[in-house]
Amino acid sequence: MGKLYVVPTPIGNLEDMTLRAISVLKEVDLILAEDTRTSGKLLKHFGIETPLQSHHMHNEHKTLAGVIAKLQSGTTIALISDAGTPAISDPGFLLTRACIENSIELESLPGATAFVPALVNSGLPSDRFVFEGFLPPKKGRQTRLLQLAEEPRTMVFYESPHKLVKTLTQFVDFFGTERPVTVSRELTKMYEETIRGTAMEVQNYFMAHPPKGELVVIVGGKK
């Protein structure tokens, strides 16, 4: 029986790659990557020559059985995403669940993920929080926002640059103008910044300064 390693990769700064992650990626028989072109550059940087296979949200249902068969035959496999920790708003859940169901050994390495530094940088309570990831794009979005308006814990969201202002506008509408909000952008990269303020202040800021790059939005809970 083989083994699956879930391996986080840097969200921007390559120095955040752990020595253990490099070692595992060199030692396994196969690496499953969300985008083989993106991951190929990362592996080349660290001198990793392990074969790559595509495994992403559009093909994971089709490739799952084949991957499990390889693991059952004794192949050791590492799962990586484009950036951060697999299965956190990235492919990985289906495969890890299938490994558990088939009694295949599973080991998840600690490492980079975007929401942890964003949460700490926010200055909002982090003893209890809820990770929401991406909100539903259309169906169910309003219902989810109505539910979250009553959430007392700090909330963590991922959002794309072209949808940020719309989402912040909805936060103003559903959570109120004075709800504390922070937006962390381009974490670990050269132009990293965190904007803090009320929901209205942060919305106004990004209406005047269109955002670029990867974004994590932190919203204070209802008091």
Over residues 77-86, the pLDDT tens digits come to: 999 999 999 9
186 and 102 share one domain: no
Which residues of the chain, if any, have pLDDT below 70? none
User: Can you give the pLDDT at residue 104?
Assistant: 98
- The domain boundary residue, chosen from 73, 108, 143: 108
- The domain boundary residue, chosen from 71, 92, 108: 108
126 and 94 share one domain: no
103 and 8 share one domain: yes
**CATH code of 188's domain:** 3.30.950.10
User: Can you give the pLDDT at residue 57?
Assistant: 79
Secondary structure string (H, E, C) spanning 16-80: HCCHHHHHHHHHCCEEEECCHHHHHHHHHHCCCCCCEEECCCCCHHHHHHHHHHHHHCCCEEEEE
**CATH code of 43's domain:** 3.40.1010.10
What does the alpha-carbon distance between residue 20 and residue 51 come to, in Å, rounded to a whole number?
18
10 and 40 share one domain: yes
104 and 130 share one domain: no
User: Can you give the pLDDT at residue 36?
Assistant: 92
User: Can you give the pLDDT at residue 61?
Assistant: 85
Which alpha helices (DSSP H) does 46-163 contain, by range? 60-72, 93-101, 115-122, 141-148
In Å, how far from its chain's centre is CA 33? 14
144 and 53 share one domain: no
- The domain boundary residue, chosen from 108, 132, 167: 108
User: Can you give the pLDDT at residue 175?
Assistant: 98
User: Can you give the pLDDT at residue 11?
Assistant: 95
What does the alpha-carbon distance between residue 169 and residue 7 come to, in Å, rounded to a whole number?
36
> What residues contact 38, with CB distance under 8 A and at least 6 apart?
82
102 and 8 share one domain: yes
User: Can you give the pLDDT at residue 60?
Assistant: 81
User: Can you give the pLDDT at residue 85?
Assistant: 95
What does the alpha-carbon distance between residue 31 and residue 52 come to, in Å, rounded to a whole number?
5
171 and 76 share one domain: no
User: Can you give the pLDDT at residue 2?
Assistant: 97
User: Can you give the pLDDT at residue 138?
Assistant: 86
93 and 176 share one domain: no
User: Can you give the pLDDT at residue 98?
Assistant: 96
76 and 158 share one domain: no
98 and 129 share one domain: no
21 and 102 share one domain: yes
The parent domain of residue 86 ranges over: 3-108
Note the pTM of the prediction, 2 decimals: 0.91
Number of independent structural domains in the chain:
2
